[in-house]
Amino acid sequence: MGRLQDKVAIITGSGAGIGKEVAIAYAREGAKVVIADFNETTLNETVAELKASGHEALGVKVDVSVNEDVERMVDESIKAFGKVDILVNNAGVGDNMQAAANVQDDTWNRILSINLNGVMYGLRKIIPHFMENGGGTIVNMASITGLTGGRGGLGYTAVKHAVVGMTKNVASQYGPHNIRCNAIAPGHIQTEFAASMTNIDEFGMKASIRATNLIPRAGTVEDIANITLFLGSDESSYVNGVALAADGGWSAY
C-alpha cells in the first residue's frame, strides 16, 4: 500500500476494462484518480465505486479525439487536485481487423483521431505542466501490434507503432526534465474490446490469429494494471522510453 501516495493520476478510457482496473489499482495505492471517459454512464459508475471504497476520484467526460476536451480534462484535474503527476493514455478503439486492401476511410480516420491524435493531445497538454512541477510520468497503452507486424489490422498496427515511437521520442527529449514516458504492449487480454468491433474483416482476422495457438494463456486486466502500476510508480524510476511486451511470450515465437 502507498506506492502512489498523494499522487494525482489521469487515466483515459477508465470507465471500464483495462483503464478501470488501472484506476482501481492506482487508488488502492494512495493515488487520487481522474476517471476520464467518453461513456458517461460507466464513468459515473466507476467514480461512485471508488468513492464508496473511500478513495478520491473525479470524473471527467472526454472525447480524446477533440483537443479542447483533452485540455479541459487536464485543467479540471489540476483545479480539483492542484496538480497532475501521472497520465495514462489508455483510451482507444479497434479497426475491425481491416487488412490493407480492405481499409475503409471512416475506420482509418477514427483510429487515427482517437488512438493517435488523442495521445498527442494528452502529451502536448501535460508536458508543460510536468516541466513546471519538476517532473511527471506518462504511460501509453500501445499493443503487441505496435511491436510486431501481423497481429492486427493495418490501421491499428500503424497507430500503435506510432505510439511506441512517440513514447521513445518523449522519453528522449524530456527525460532530462525528470519526465518519464513508457508504453505497454498487451497481447490478447480478456476484455470486451474485441467484442465491441463490428463488421470484422474476415481476411484480416484470419491472418492476424494464425499464431494464437502459441499464446500460453489470455492475459487479464489485472496483469496489465499491475504493469501500469509499476511504470507509474517510483519503483520504475530508471525505466524510460521502453515499450514493454505483455503477451505471455507470444511475440517471442
Q: For 84-124, how does the pLDDT look when each residue is reduced to its tens digit (9 = 90+)?
A: 999 999 999 999 999 999 999 999 999 999 999 999 999 99
Per the structure block, which three cell numbers stand in for 201? 474483416
pTM of the complete model beyond 0.75: yes
- Residue range 51-63: mean pLDDT, rounded: 98
List the beta bridge partners of residue 185.
245
Per the structure block, which three cell numbers stand in for 27? 487508488
Per the structure block, which three cell numbers stand in for 183? 508504453
pLDDT at 220: 95
Q: Kindly list the catalytic residues.
A: 156
| Residues 199-231: tens digit of each pLDDT | 787 867 776 777 777 778 889 999 999 999 999
pLDDT at 191: 73
| Residues 163-196: tens digit of each pLDDT | 999 999 999 999 999 999 999 999 988 876 555 6
pLDDT at 99: 93
Concatenated DSSP letters for 212-251? Answer: GGG-SS-B-HHHHHHHHHHHHSGGGTT--S-EEEESTTGG
Residue 143 contacts residue 160 (beta carbons within 8 Å):
yes
Alpha helix positions (H), 115-240: 118-133, 154-174, 202-208, 221-232
Integer Cα distance of 188 and 11 in angstroms: 21
The domain segmentation of the chain, as residue ranges, is 8-252
CATH architecture of 8-252: 3-Layer(aba) Sandwich (3.40)
